[in-house]
Structure 1
Amino acid sequence: MKLTNKIGVIVDSFGLGVREGLAKAKEVGAEGVQIYAVKGEMDPENLSPAARKELRSYIESLGLEISALVGDLGGHGFGVEEDNRWKVEKSKRIVDLALDLGTTIVTTHIGIAPHDTSSAAFHTMHSACEELGQYAKSVGAYFAIETGPETAADLKAFLDTLSTNGVSVNFDPANMVMVTGDDPVQGVHLLKDYIVHTHVKDGIRLKEVDPRDVYGAVGYAPMDHEKIAEMVSSGLFFREVPLGEGGVDFNRYFQALQDIGYTGYLTIEREVGTQPELDIRKAVDFIRKYR
């Protein structure tokens, strides 16, 4: 096996500003970057057409490209109808920003896909994702749902009910290992028609956890990335670890991605730890061993 996929890094993992993070991504050997685009300087509302053009030019001057934007709006995903009115519109604007910056992919969490297709919860989430999928498809883009809150089989069952592949998958093997205990290799094969982006991360599951306590659901505490990072750091239910030290079998995982013909980015995400730059450098080196 010899990987040809490009290596990406989530800029925000460095804990620096966007510009410093971009420069650092280049320094550690990344070829592409993923950037959070939901608030602050990367909020679509705060980036004029001229600012978008300048930022894209700066990224290209570093010899980088954007693998994807993160458009995760937190809360209960798309599970609350009243919230979906603004969340859907904001998500569309993040897609517009992504296209202006040279990528067609926005990754997000939608909440936990409901089992009962006749339930109000299913209808609410399905309606929002259908609208987002149709919009993304109309402009040649993708909303990529990050794996983790449910099994690959449950996620595929939900995606199969949508009319377009405008809603696709951002595959994160560590989330599956840590939260649902699902097999990432089997998950790759199940979701092969939907995967447009991946995260490279590793983790260990210490004991069973209700995904609703991690990713939020109606009636549960809303999803919050800082809260998830705290859960990871506490080591109560699961722990994120450096690549190769956890439950993801990367030999089999990378082979599975090759088997399905995935040619997109392998984007490194590091959500915990006091030395993110060191961890990310090691992760880049880890992936390079397969190239």
Structure 2
Amino acid sequence: MNRRDILRSMGVGVVALSCPTLAQNVSRPVSRFSVGACDWSIGPAGDIKAFAMAKEIGLDGVQISLNIKADHEHLRRPDTQRTYKDAAEKAGIRIGGLAIGLLNSIPYKSDPRTEQWVYDSVDVANALGVKNILLAFFSDNDLRNDPKGTQVVVDRLKAVAPKAERAGVVLGIESWLSAPQHLAIIDAVGSSAVKVYYDVCNSSDMGYDIFEEIRSLGKEQICEVHLKENGYLLGKGKVDLPQVRQALDDIGYSGWLHIEGAVPKGKPMLESYIENTKTVRSIFV
């Protein structure tokens, strides 16, 4: 290596040393991932105090609920949206996503009220500056072994998908279904606005090879990811997080990783989530 090559190789380091801010940027590359948590995991669903709690935990954002059992309107009201935006700004915490968990008890596959909720959720997402909406398909909304209910969901998604496409918003299906079953629904709808909201714990519980599923779905079909354990801290249960990281690296996924559950019996939520957040950052950030 000649003198010119040596100076060229040292150039970044010399400039960085003379500029502390640049030095910090060089040594700490920007992560592809943002770390959030579901509002129903760090407090009651639909509670605006989730932003202050997220700040105390050290999260980047909160995935918030469109509505709750006691208030079907909730974030569909512009004044409530403004209140949430103000609370997020005050806490320095981002609104990391939108979810309609109430679909588990008031099913999208059968209750006509839910069509308007999903339709309105696209406008809410736009107003709050988020791109992904989680549609929950568990409990009363479970699609397993329900071809009739699945067809209703396909038809309803077909109706709302053009609006979501125009808005640049994605409707993410989170369910007990396998990757091929999810893809069958996505193909039937035929819209880029419908994707999979991938929960590594749910899929592990179903016995799916989550690493193969992540790779087969790819970043084109996974809109967002839940990192979850039932009854364990993250990294202490069944989900191999380093392997999840490798699979997400392989498909080039970037975006939100929302922590859900992962509170051992008898352990306080706040203590658990501070620990969970540290674990996620040590592996993904």
TM-score of the two chains, using structure 1 as the length reference: 0.76
Judge conservation of contact 2:37–2:61 (CA < 8 Å) in 1.
yes
Please give the alpha-carbon distance, in whole angstroms, between the structure 1 residues aligned to 2:217 and 2:75: 35
Cα contact 2:262–2:276 (8 A) shared by 1: no
User: How many pairs were matched up?
Assistant: 247
Find the aligned partners of 1:109 and 1:138 in 2 and give their Cα distance.
23
The residue type paired with residue 36 of structure 1 is S
Shift in CA distance, 115/164, structure 1 to aligned 2, threshold 3 Å: farther
SS of structure 1 residue aligned to 2:239: coil
Name 2:105's counterpart in structure 1. 75
State the alpha-carbon separation in 2 of the partners of residues 105 and 112 from structure 1: 21
Alignment correspondent of 2:215: 189
The answer for the alignment partner of 1:145 in structure 2 is 173
- 1:287 matched to which residue of 2? 280
Q: Does 1:156 align with 2:183?
A: yes
CA distance 1:46–1:122, shift in 2 (3 Å) = closer
Q: More helix per residue: 1 or 2?
A: 2
Residues 132 and 166 of structure 1 are in contact (CA less than 8 Å); yes or no, is this contact kept in structure 2?
A: no
Equivalence map 1:164-203=2 (5 Å): 164-178=191-205, 180-192=206-218, 193-202=220-229
Aligned to 2:87: 58
Say whether 1:264 aligns with 2:255: yes
- Unaligned 5+ segments in structure 1 are 203-238
3-state SS of paired residue (2:33): coil
Indicate which of 38, 47, 55 corresponds to 1:26: 55
Asked if 1:130 is matched to 2:130, the reply is no
Does the C-alpha gap of structure 1 residues 47 and 123 become closer, same or farther in structure 2, counting only changes over 3 Å? closer
Percent identity, aligned pairs only, is: 25
In 1, Cα distance between equivalents of 2:64 and 2:74: 16
**Structure 1 stretch 104-113 or stretch 61-70: which is displaced more?**
104-113
Letter of the 2:232 partner, please give it.
V
Q: Matched residues in 2 for 1:106 and 1:71: separation? A: 7
Q: Which structure's CA Rg is the greater one? A: 2
Which structure 2 segments of 5+ residues have no match? 1-29
Does the C-alpha gap of structure 1 residues 158 and 47 become closer, same or farther in structure 2, counting only changes over 3 Å? closer
1:163 deviates by 1.5
Determine whether 1:10 maps to 2:38.
yes
